[in-house]
Amino acid sequence: MKKQFNRMRQLANQTVGRAEKTEVLSEDLLQVEKRLELVKQVSHSTHKKLTACLQGQQGVDVDKKSKKLPLTTLAQCMVEGAAVLGDESLLGKMLKLCGDTQDRLAQELILFELTIERDVIEPLYDLAEVEIPNIQKQRKHLAKLVLDMDSAPLLSSSSLMYLVVVFSPLQDQLSADMYSFVAKEIDYASYFQTLIEVQAEYHRKSLELLQSVLPQIKAHQETWVEKPCYGKPLEEHLALSGRDIAFPIEACVTMLLECGMQEEGLFRIAPSASKLKKLKASLDCGVLDVQEYSADPHAIAGALKSYLRELPEPLMSYELYNDWIQASNIQDQDKRLQALLNACEKLPPANNNNFKYLIKFLSKLTEYQDVNKMTPGNIAIVLGPNLLWMNNEGNITEMMTTVSLQIVGIIEPIIQHADWFFPGEIEFNVTGNYGSPVHTNHNANYSSMPSPDMDQIDRRQNDQSRRPLSVATDNMMLEFYKKDGYDPSVSTGITFLTHLAAVLGSFPNPKDWRRCMSVRISVTHLKPHR
């Protein structure tokens, strides 16, 4: 009881008379002591979060770490998938190449994580869990010795002597360790510099690996025969496929030459949506069963129209849109044809070749107009919106009420005078995959323009022998709709436009309707219903 009482009195004296308390640390070291606790907390938290970022299991050998990596699992899955699909498949080739790449990336990741563990995570752990706790442990031990020394009057002389001998070296050791901690802060900070350097090296090696693989991936893509063509730029499709004429254009034209030239309403009558979708998909992957589609010329014509309509830029080009429109506004027919020819000659080579091919075919189609009812004017009405449209399409209401037959007035004369615009014969079966006939110059008497030196009478005579009398006129439009069972003389303008929508029913979405309506029909020429 007496001992306990003395101890309590000692604590009370230290609390009340702190001036008599032995000082263990200087003011500077007291500040270091506070910093020790802060550094310990930060180091512990950073170590915990950084460890959580590791994808592999910590503290195991390379083989075990590799098996647990998600990248390794992904690589294995890709390689197995490649084996299933085989090297004959583009997907199989891609999976094999990408699987090998992922495996190599996994190996780089393992080396990265091992380096991070050794040079960053373990030193942080030692700092937070070993070095700082050891200093704090010394500090607590010295605090106990001070408490005992301050109660010296109550201790025996031998005990007091022991405390004095022990205290001084421990105090020196604690001070040295704390000063050492302050001096080593630059070393502790270097852990984070190492982290960034190791990350940079890992990402640099990974980038080099990926960049070395990309050319191989692109080479596989470029050498693959089956390339989609719908919705792709014309020049890109031709370059990738090594063709001069777009595959959908040649395939559809050669099939129509065999089975569709006498089909009434070709390009005007809409095909079955499901059949059209199937044919487009077939053309897109380069696989075509000619026999299957020969019985449905309207599906073939619809696929051709869709290809032209889905080109990112019209076959007759955005750049020349104003040239075409200005040419159509010229009143003199000879000058108009010459202006249209000038615009044709400005077309890029790829566009010019395919436009020529298509116009020659459409010209041949008109040879059967008595049967198929597709005159140059009628063809221009249904195909014109798919060959030329404005870059910035306007509001559909505006387009439906705007007075213009310009696009029809461009396409019709080019079809009428196809052999003047594009002299010579043309082989439709360019690739030799179809048995199509050779187009002959059936308008040879239109092969030259009248000489500028001719007088007006000779020029008019030459015009009459060189080409049909009209270009695109409102009369042609009205004649077309009369043949289709529609009499505009007893209908309103709205009814006329409604009928137009039905005739051009192969435009399935609003965007295509806007293009369709760029062949804008004048309602001012229609007699109101009385």
Between 300 and 519, the more confident residue is 300
Q: Are 439 and 260 in contact (CB under 8 A)?
A: no
pLDDT at 162 over 50: yes
Phi, psi of 89 (to 5 degrees): -95, 140
Cβ proximity of 340 and 467 under 8 Å? no
- State yes or no: pLDDT of 201 exceeds 60: yes
Question: Is-contact 150 111, C-beta < 8 A?
Answer: no
Question: Across the strands, what pairs with 439?
Answer: 426
Place of tokens 């189609």: 365
Q: Please give the Cα distance from 472 to 408 (Å, whole number).
A: 6
DSSP state of 328: H
Listed ranges 226-230, 316-320, 391-395; the one with the highest mean pLDDT: 316-320
pLDDT exceeds 80 at position 180: yes
Q: What is the pLDDT of residue 172?
A: 79
Q: Angle, to 10 degrees, between the axis of helix 90-116 and the axis of helix 185-223?
A: 170
Instruction: Give the separation between CA 447 and CA 443, rounded to whole angstroms.
Output: 7
- Specify the pLDDT at position 442: 35
pLDDT confidence bin for 193, thresholds 50/70/90: very high
User: Could you tell me the pLDDT band of residue 159, with boundaries at 50, 70 and 90?
Assistant: low
CA 248 centroid distance within chain: 23
Which residues are CB-neighbours of 75 under 8 A, at least 6 positions away?
99, 100, 101, 102, 103, 105, 106
pLDDT tens, residue by residue, 416-439:
999 999 998 888 887 766 543 333
- In terms of average pLDDT, the best of 280-284, 369-373, 396-400 is 369-373
pLDDT band at 169 (very low <50, low <70, confident <90, very high): confident
Q: Model confidence at 64, in pLDDT bands (50, 70, 90)?
A: confident
The ranges of the chain annotated as CATH 1.10.555.10 are 234-421
Residue 517 banded pLDDT, cuts 50, 70, 90: very low
Residue type (1 letter), 143: A
Prediction pTM value: 0.56
The DSSP string of 331-363 is SSHHHHHHHHHHHHHHS-HHHHHHHHHHHHHHH
CA–CA gap between residue 87 and residue 95 (Å, rounded): 10
Cβ contact 483:373 at 8 Å: yes
SS3 426: strand
Tokens of 494: 């709205």
**Mean residue pLDDT across the chain:** 76
Q: Do the Cβ atoms of 262 and 365 come closer than 8 Å?
A: no
Distance CA 459, CA 33 (A): 110
What does the alpha-carbon distance between residue 362 and residue 380 come to, in Å, rounded to a whole number?
10
Region(s) of the chain under CATH 1.20.1270.60: 23-223
Inter-helix orientation angle 273-284/247-259, to 10°: 130
Give the pLDDT mean for 358-362. Answer: 95
Three-state SS letters, 122-148: HHHHHHHHHHHHHHHHHHHHHHHHHHH
Domain 23-223 fold: Substrate Binding Domain Of Dnak; Chain:A; Domain 2 (1.20.1270)
Closest CA to 467 of 419, 416, 515, 406: 416
Terminal alpha carbon distance of the chain = 129
d(CA 424, CA 420): 9
Could you please state the CATH topology (level 3) that the domain comprising 234-421 is classified under. Answer: Phosphatidylinositol 3-kinase; Chain A (1.10.555)
The sign of the torsion formed by the CA atoms of 244, 246, 250, 256 equals: negative
Determine the length of the chain: 530
Mean pLDDT of 174-194: 89
Residue 439: DSSP 8-state? E
Mean of pLDDT values over 240-251 = 89
Contact of 384 with 268, CB cutoff 8 Å: no
CA distance 530 to 526: 12
Which pair of structure tokens corresponds to residue 476?
Answer: 């042609």
Question: How do residues 69-93 score in pLDDT, each as one tens digit?
Answer: 889 999 999 999 999 998 888 889 9
Whether residue 468 has pLDDT greater than 70 = no
| Statement: residue 523 has pLDDT above 90 | no
Residues 6+ apart with CB under 8 A from 139: 24, 25, 33, 174
